[in-house]
Amino acid sequence: MSAEAANPGATSRRRGRTRLDLRRIGRVALLGPTSRDRLPDAIGHVADAHRAHHPDADLTILHRAYVLAESSHRGQMRKSGEPYITHPLAVTLILAELGAETTTLTAALLHDTVEDTDVTLEQVRSEFGEEVCYLVDGVTKLEKVDYGAAAEPETFRKMLVATGNDVRVMSIKLADRLHNMRTLTVMRPEKQARIARVTRDVLIPLAERLGVQALKTELEDLVFAILHPEEYEHTRALIAADASAGDPLNAIADEVRKVLREAGLAAEVLVRPRHFVSVHRVRLKRGELRGTDFGRLLVLVAEDADCYGVLGELHTCFTPVISEFKDFIAAPKFNLYQSLHTAVASPDGEVAEILIRTHQMHKVAEAGVVALGNPYTPTDGAEPAVEGERADPTRPGWLSRLLEWQESTPDPDTFWTSLRADLAEDREITVFRSDGGTLGLPAGASCVDAAYAQYGETAHRCIGARVNGRLATLSTVLSDGDTVQLLLAHDIGSGPSPEWLDHARTPAARIAITSWLSAHSQDEAPASGGPGGGPQESRPARGSAAPAPGIDTPVPRGAENVIADLPDATVRLAGCCTPVPPDAVTGFAVRGGVVTVHREECPAVGRMQARGREPVGVRWLATGDCRVTLVAESFGRPRLLADLTEAIATAGAAVVSATVEPPSEQRVRHTYTLQLPDAAGLPVLMRAMRAVPGVYDVSRAQHPATA
């Protein structure tokens, strides 16, 4: 059941807009246009709503689209009993009320003609142009797959692709779903529940991300009424009781108007009732509802600067609730939303939430991308788009990211799971790159997510990061406004560690990491070594300290000094035992034509042979510069790290990367990846490190991540 059907006063209470009388419009539609020189009465509602936003719009194309839609759908009936033409009319009216431009409305009128009638895409293209044809085709493709449980992943993959190419396709789809939800009572209860769940899980979050709050809130209420009828009825009763008891927000609104008028600020102050789901959420959060919890005040001004002027007056003349202040003008939300949020207490103790925004901000807040018009209309002096490309300036950053990772996810079920997880994230942070650019990430994202968001698959070579100028592990969780510099290894064979999956929040990162691990032997130790490590070093335990200051991106070496008895094979030194000349070594072939070289006493060798893996002969060509990972066990004391790095430098070795595990019973483990000019100097280096006071052992790295 629809929210409006359950509460006849909800419409006027929320937006005060008129609704289509579907039965009356249906009768008019059956009669067809009465004359050629004026719009049929059946589309008059759409024309009025469209002219309210676009006074100079040419309605001729709408007239022609209606005539084609009405004639092609004539004789078709909806399950509710109305003529089918009432559906495209209702969808078009929804978009017209949001301020959609003429091209979108034309496509909305025709959105079912190609799917359900004899009208062809070529006919649409010849009569209405390429843009309308493109939109109709996009919506038609979304309708070709049913919403059955098995078909949902592929359905929404197509929906996402269509949305990415033109957000107006999704706008039409959302309006289409809204009208279907309004008339859902004719279906069986189980089918109502299934459609409502899909709407809740995917379409409502997509409406939120596209910024179309007007559609999102009504869809939420309709889903709420179907899936939670008891809670819905209780909320409806609370709203009805509040309406009969009088609204304290009106009194506060009068005081706000008086304050702003005396300050010389021209502003429109409105009482904005909350929708059903919003009231329900407030009740769950606060328990007992106050009279002011059933709505908020909306203050509309002309200019951005006036928003802050209003804020200053309100905080001066009322008692502000500082914890409720949010500035989405200086830092807009990921869905284009801009507004100032605050809450003030009146002299009698009533607390009112207040939204302050310009009229344009309000339009975008309600209609989102729909309010931005046709993003493909060329502007004066603009270069024509490259054939086949549709560069949409209104496409949100999150949508671009989803389009990238869906292309790398061939499995529909994996795509579906990742999509739902991403849509469940309701907050986004912005971090700054070292080159001045920005990255939009979900709250709780780590440096791993930032790496894949910035570099894509190149992030496989990431070994660390600088967050706000300080070195940090890849597991570091980022905060809004952080500056991130990602450090990449030069070794193109480097790869992620399975442990990275513990710190990846975004689908892009998780899918890329999983794909790499699947394409490589799971027995192989990734050269990256873990969230805080570098190539060919031991993987640090969770909670390891950041790499030592001053360490830069490593340049892997050593593999050029060894050759394998396998033609055209790429040789890589194992990160678990870091062999150096003149160690006795053996190799094992892994995927991708790579031979991984281990010391013969490495535990990995025995495990590989036990699995029936045939060793590959390898030999050193000559001694020379090499890379090795050493573990220093010591007792904790001040300046220990400084003394160890000084001893390493004195021995002629260069520190590539280092990790220090948290002290345990006054003992500290240091792990260093070092570059030596000559492997023969390794014994001297290890003796020098053991000579540092407090160090009781130095050994070659050995850990279970092997190949």
Q: How far apart are CA 702 and CA 150, in angstroms?
A: 47
Q: How far apart are CA 440 and CA 401, in angstroms?
A: 9
The residues, any chain, with a CB within 8 Å of residue 145's CB and separated by 6 or more, are 151, 154, 155, 158
Q: How far apart are CA 404 and CA 303, in angstroms?
A: 37
Provide the 3-class DSSP secondary structure of residue 369. helix
Q: How far apart are CA 357 and CA 459, in angstroms?
A: 40
Per-residue exposure over 633-647, b if at least 16 CB sit within 10 Å of its own CB, e if not: ebeeeeebbebbbeb
Residue 360 burial class via C-beta count within 10 angstroms: exposed 0-12, middle 13-18, buried 19 and up:
middle
449: tokens are 């997510």
Return phi, psi of residue 5, to 5°: -65, -35
Per-residue exposure over 470-494, b if at least 16 CB sit within 10 Å of its own CB, e if not: ebbbbbbebeeebebbbbbbebebb
What are the residue ranges of helices labelled H in 446-580?
447-455, 507-519
DSSP-assigned letter for residue 144: S
Return phi, psi of residue 227, to 5°: -85, -25
Bridge-based pairing of strands 626-635 and 654-660 is: unpaired
CA 375 from chain center: how many Å?
22
Phi-psi region of 301 (alpha: psi -120 to 50; beta: other; left: phi over 0): beta
DSSP for 606-627 reads HHHHHTTPPEE-EEE-----EE
Provide the 3-class DSSP secondary structure of residue 548. coil
How many beta carbons lie within 10 A of that of residue 114, not counting itself?
22
Return phi, psi of residue 375, to 5°: -70, -10
CA 592 from chain center: how many Å?
32
Pick the catalytic residue from 48, 116, 327, 350.
116
How many beta carbons lie within 10 A of that of residue 697, not counting itself?
12
230: tokens are 């008891």
DSSP-assigned letter for residue 438: E
How many beta carbons lie within 10 A of that of residue 611, not counting itself?
9
CB 299 within 8 A of CB 255: no
CB 2 within 8 A of CB 19: no
CA 153 from chain center: how many Å?
18
Q: How far apart are CA 656 and CA 649, in angstroms?
A: 12
Active site residue 449: no
Pick the catalytic residue from 41, 48, 115, 404.
115
How many beta carbons lie within 10 A of that of residue 175, not counting itself?
26
DSSP-assigned letter for residue 542: T
CB 67 within 8 A of CB 43: no
Q: 319 vs 30, 293, 297, 357, CA distance in Å?
A: 60, 17, 16, 20
* Residue type at 681 in one-letter notation: G
Residue 543 burial class via C-beta count within 10 angstroms: exposed 0-12, middle 13-18, buried 19 and up:
exposed
Active site residue 220: no
CB 511 within 8 A of CB 408: yes
Return phi, psi of residue 464, to 5°: 175, -175
**Could you give the residue numbers annotated as active site?**
115-116
